[in-house]
Amino acid sequence: MNLQYTGRDNDDAELSLEGDQFVTFSLATEEYGVSILLVQEIIGYRTLTQIPGVPSFVKGMLNLRGAVVPVIDLRVRFGMTQREYDKFTVIVIVVVQGRTMGIIVDGVSDVVSFEASQVQPTPPVAAAVRTDYISGMGQKDDKFVILLDVDKMLSLEELEILSTVN
């Protein structure tokens, strides 16, 4: 599957969670969503070039039409159990704070739109649990989709590490 983004320039994108479209994907038993404005494309999982001395969630880099793109495993980043990559595993190429990077997910589900009434704020959790990368909870039917703010998925230090590989 190859989803090409042909909309507005990512630098000019203003995101609101109301009525926007999200690419949804699965990690374990949960569904997550990323604004379609930040998704450049979706590619099948492929072997990556390993990078020594990086955090464990950084799985390597790939050559995407001549550009070096760092790739992270979102399961590992979120502290989930790792699993073997299979034919459903994909790499979603996204723009994070102006940098192109890939995120490995279990599989892409759909592109969905949420109306204002379908988006709930991030529920309060213990102060020790980091949830700033969750923009809200989209509700479709009886299920929630965790909406991610990709610009906040990585700390400034982690982004700095990744910027050295591309």
Taking only the tens place, the pLDDT of each residue in 31-90 is 999 999 999 999 999 999 998 888 889 999 999 999 999 999 999 988 899 999 999 999
Q: Which domains does the chain have, with CATH numbers?
A: 10-159 (2.40.50.180)
pTM metric for this prediction: 0.81
Taking only the tens place, the pLDDT of each residue in 11-41 is 333 344 445 899 999 999 999 999 999 999 9
By DSSP bridging, strand 30-35 and strand 143-148 are parallel
SS3 of 69, please? strand
Phi, psi at 93, each rounded to 5°: -90, 115
Residue 151 exposed, middle or buried by CB count within 10 Å (0-12, 13-18, 19+): middle
CB 53 within 8 A of CB 159: no
User: What is d(CA 43, CA 102) in angstroms, rounded to the nearest whole number?
Assistant: 9
